[in-house]
Amino acid sequence: MKVRYQYRIYPTPQQVKGLNQLFGCCRVVYNDALAIVRSVPQGEKWPSNAELQKLVITQAKKTAERKWLADVSVVPLQQSVQDLGVAFKNFFESRSGKRKGPKVGFPRFKKKLNQQSARFVRTGFSLKGNKLELAKLGRFKVKWSRPLPSEPSSVTIIRNTAGQYHASFVVEIGSINIEPLRPSIGVDLGIKTFAFLSTGDRVESPGYNRLDRKTRRFQRKLARQVKGSKRREKTRLRLAKLKLKTANIRKDFLHKTTTQLIHENQVVVLEDLAVKNMLGNRKLARAISQQGWGTARTMCEAKANMVNDREVRIISRWEPTSQICSDCGFRWGKVALSVRSILCVSCGTEHDRDGNAAKNIEKSGLGLTQDSK
């Protein structure tokens, strides 16, 4: 299977100038191709990727307005047009129902201030010792945090909004064989406690409050400053670094937590949470979005495919996991969120609300729940 390995790179000032020019050329080629497609009259056939590449790259280089496209490598420009084709494919498959997940919108024009990227295939890059060599850009210093498992098939150079540069390699890996410690586990995701496991263990999420207060303070400051000023750009950069730090802390925590769940358990059972609908609660929206429940589910499903004999099961969001005793199956009905401990009137067992839900999630995922009737 194909996975991505991402590393930080440190370009020189001259290479930064060349990368910025490359990002701008890729953005212009993408936007020009999208403009051509949008200008096609309704009912007529759209141009193919090969025709778009000929129009926005080959022929455009011969004009005075786009002759500077010849200053950069043609490989990432071609890949930029390919990305537009993938965007249209995802849009039509989402409309027809072939693509699962949230609906994908019509492709939009790329902006200069967003994250920038350029992809090189094997004809445009090579590894020279510990350095990465890119066509027409030279060799880059790479912070190799871990070795590549195999020869990369492509590399994407990324510049985030904080001004940092990364190289993302696509490599081929085989399946991993790890003996599980338990046959199954149920996971109840929450806000104060990130996850309560059916084994009785709790997984506490890192604190985001201090960084969140700083972020909101700089957002208010940014809103008051004059657009285009140097001080506003300085504040924007500091705000981007704060958001990046929060995202990195959350990503590191989620990777470690999901890796441990997949490695130690043969079957991981999760609940199908309607996160988008839950974000409509203005009092809990910030706390919910900070947890990254959707990312955790995606990571679990991806890592289950990387390890042999692992499975992630998703139960329905309508399962009454908090309304049923996990010991005797007695249903006591809805209970207010402020109630954290429940005493079953049928068997006399006292349950922690989240612990009881985690056990019911595991039983429901394994098909062991009793008939509600």
- Whole-number Cα distances in Å, 98 to 48, 83, 140: 22, 19, 41
Angle at 312 between CA 310 and CA 315, to 5 degrees: 150
Query: Of 263, 282, 278, 266, nearest to 362 (Cα)?
Result: 266
Catalytic residue among 32, 83, 319, 354: 354
d(Cα 118, Cα 43) in Å, to the nearest integer? 33
Query: Of 319, 306, 92, 307, nearest to 186 (Cα)?
Result: 319
d(Cα 132, Cα 149) in Å, to the nearest integer? 16
Residue type, 112: K
What 322-325 contacts at long range (C-beta under 8 Å, 24+ apart), as own/partner pairs, is 322/353, 322/356, 322/357, 322/360, 324/360, 324/369, 325/349, 325/351, 325/356
Q: 6-30: b or e for each residue (b if 16 or more CB lie within 10 Å)?
A: ebebebeeebeebbeebbbbbbbbb
Instruction: Give the three-state DSSP class for 344.
Output: coil
d(Cα 50, Cα 81) in Å, to the nearest integer? 9
Catalytic residue among 32, 188, 319, 362: 188
Q: Which tokens hold the place of 220?
A: 């208010």
Q: Is there a catalytic annotation at residue 271?
A: yes
d(Cα 120, Cα 151) in Å, to the nearest integer? 14
Q: What is the CA radius of gyration of the chain?
A: 25
DSSP letter (8 states) at residue 155: E
Catalytic residue among 271, 301, 352, 371: 271
Q: Among all residues, which ones are annotated catalytic?
A: 188, 271, 354
